[in-house]
Structure 1
Amino acid sequence: MKKVKVEEAVGMILCHDITRIVPGESKGPAFRKGHIIRQEDVPKLLDLGKAHIYVWENQEGMLHENDAALRLAKAAAGSGLNLSEPKEGKVNLTAAADGLLKVDVNSLELINGIDQLIIATLHTNRMVKAGQQVAGCRVVPLVIAEEKIVEAERICSSIQGIISVKTLHKVRAGLVTTGSEVYYGRIKDAFGPVIKSKLEQFGSSLHKQVFVPDDVEKIAQAVRELKAEGVDLVLTTGGMSVDPDDLTPTGIKSAGAEIIAYGAPVLPGSMFMLAYLDGMPILGLPGCVMYAKTTIFDLVLPRVLCGEKLSRQDLVKLGHGGLCLNCEVCTFPHCHFGKEGK
């Protein structure tokens, strides 16, 4: 930066905040660093006792904070995001539409490991609303070495951005409800309305609910028939524990599905099953989904609806943050639940 007379500074970029004090009333910035000096600013600066100010001096290989922050944000941003105009070395990223926030945490940490670069985000795999801020990109100094931005751009280029918002697909789901007590009408089914409501929250629908007794072949047949009808997703309720007469997991396997995991490190929701039948996901839902406000279903369903094919390791990661505290007033997703580590 260089020192210049105020009268000669028009069009130049201020390198520091200039404070204005009104005795007994206020103290605050009259001009902030990064401000481009205008002709009408000259008398105001002189009134503040500033005959000289420090302005940014263009140097080869150095970037102004706003230019650097914008490049950083553009590199980090994948699909489904809007970028704000840079201000004071900061650019905000907001969701262009409702969807699931995805953050490549490893790449995020690599960028934040570069001195003087900052990207702060919400947790990955969180549902966000259109217009909601999901990240902020900032450059700490007024000017920064361009090579640092180039390194950040290199990290982001391999995956076309490290932050994105994925739109959820609108699917037709089939529901297989097992249990002889429900099938024969001894008790009323309570799962169906809950499942229907959850699906509709994400813009999807319940195509059909099928009731079957505790019979392995009938469970398998129901799964196969729903798939033949063209549903995109099959959910099963009832019979998911380890009791001898709980046969739903066996029925799912007998339908020809590949079992990815039976059991997940999430409470509530540990007796959860994930399987795929010729690419179609099957979610075996534990009993807690019927009565608990937030469960593993709320963590997994959005990811399935945006087209992710989940692995066993994806479920394993849910253990860190997978303990719901059953708060009297549920604030999910504004809590730790489901905020897994790397």
Structure 2
Amino acid sequence: MQEVRTEDSVGRILCHDLTQIIRGVTKDARFRKGHVVQKEDIPILLSMGKEHLYVWEEDAAMLHEEDAAAILRDLCLNAGMSAGEPKEGKIEIKAEIDGVFYVDRKRFQAVNMLPDMSMATIPQYMPVKKGTKLAGMRIVPLMIEKERMEQVKRVAGKEPLFTLRPYKAMKVGVVTTGSEVAKGLINDGFTPVLAQKLKAFGLAVDAHRISDDGIENTKAAILELLDLGMDMILCTGGMSVDPDDRTPAAIRDSGAEVVSYGAPILPGAMFLVAYMERDDRVIPILGLPGCVMFETATVFDIFLPRILTGERLRREDIVGLGIGGLCMHCRVCHFPVCGFGKE
């Protein structure tokens, strides 16, 4: 790479894209890497503020920014993703399937800590649709030593830094608890809400049981749904601290392992996560607080996509969202494209 005066660059090969910015009109590469500068290009380049240019000069010890960005791309790319062509030194990765985005935070941060590396992603655990942009990456300088990029490879390790987990097909059972519903005093308004939320992932309520507030009856309903082969069970009602709220006890008595009862997330503090192991399967059983029925975004909306990928939640996954776990109740809800539920 060699720096030359723009007026002296005719016939030389550009080392990188040159962006032209006309406010309100365009911001795009006016001249691409590899372009051979022509005499008629000089006035345009000068109008863009380019009084000096970098032109190509072979150096076996150096890599061009696009070649370095391709190395970063290859360290990140995984199944269900695709990458675009380099543009102005940057490469972007997008989703080719619906699913949840995961990034190996420790290794990713280690790469970004190296000088001149720049990789940015969407938030961890973001549910995405096919075509969603996942990340962009580039190096800061125009050229970089090959050995520095070999160091990047060593730090990143052999496994891809990104994972896009697809959703699994699941049979979902719902247990509605509450004597007022069981006795027909009020209608069940919760299950239709769950059906709508599940529909967004191509799922439905496959089996539904109604129980009074008795622990034994709720437990029996849970076990019945397990016998029917449900892959996930959602329990509604009875999740608060009133004397008649006994759903958590029923879930425990069913034999499920309770991972967490209570979450530092609002709305959704009374959220319960448990798992039942049966016939070589692990079935999540969730206790859903009443807010799920009337709030647009809650703890359930945060964790449902992850559960639908087959991820087994840990208590630290739930507690870790205390920072970012407060919904701002914006006038227009943009969840999940917001800070709610993001680390």
TM-score (norm 1): 0.89
The aligned residue for residue 94 of structure 1 is 94
Deviation (angstroms), 1:248: 0.5
Cα pair 2:11 2:38 within 8 Å, conserved: no
Deviation at 1:222, TM superposition (A): 1.1
CA contact (8 A) 1:16 1:54 kept: no
Q: Give the equivalent residue in structure 1 for 2:140.
A: 140
Please give the residue correspondences for 1:50-61 in structure 2 after superposition, counting only pairs within 5 Å: 54-61=54-61
Counterpart residue identity of residue 110, structure 1: A
- Equivalent positions of 1:77-226 (< 5 A) are 77-158=77-158, 160-226=159-225
How big is each residue's C-alpha offset from its partner over 1:193-247, in whole Å with a ceiling of 9 and x where there is no partner? 0011111111112111100111111111111111111111000000011222211
C-alpha distance after superposition, 1:74-102 (max 9, x if no partner): 11122221101112210011111222111
> CA–CA distance in 2 between the matches of 1:20 and 1:128?
31
Describe how 1:238-257 pairs up with structure 2 within 5 A: 238-257=237-256
Aligned residues: 330
After TM superposition, the structure 1 = structure 2 runs for residues 265-284 of structure 1, keeping only pairs within 5 Å, are 265-278=264-277, 279-284=282-287
Contact 2:177 2:235 in 1 (8 A): yes
Instruction: Indicate whether 1:320 and 2:326 are aligned.
Output: no
Q: Is the 8 A contact 1:6 1:45 kept in 2?
A: no
SS of 1:43 mapped into structure 2 = coil
> What are the ranges of 5 or more consecutive residues in structure 1 without an aligned counterpart?
none
Over 3 Å counting, the alpha-carbon distance change for 1:316 and 1:48 in structure 2 is closer
Contact 1:275 1:281 in 2 (8 A): yes
- Structure 2, unmatched stretches of 5+, are 47-51
Aligned-partner Cα distance in 1 for 2:28–2:105:
36
2:103 touches 2:163 (CA, 8 Å); kept in 1? yes
Q: 1:254 to 1:53 in 2, by over 3 A?
A: closer
Secondary structure in 1 matching 2:40: helix
Is the 1:73–1:137 contact (alpha carbons within 8 Å) kept by the matching residues of 2?
yes
Between the aligned partners of 2:272 and 2:125, the Cα distance in structure 1 is 19
Tell me the percent identity. Answer: 41
Give distance in 2, aligned partners of 1:29 and 1:263.
Answer: 50
Partner secondary structure for residue 321 of structure 2: helix
> Greater CA deviation, 290-299 or 322-331?
322-331
**RMSD of the alignment, in Å?**
2.7
Q: Counterpart of 1:198 in structure 2: which amino acid?
A: K
TM-score norm. by structure 2 comes to 0.88
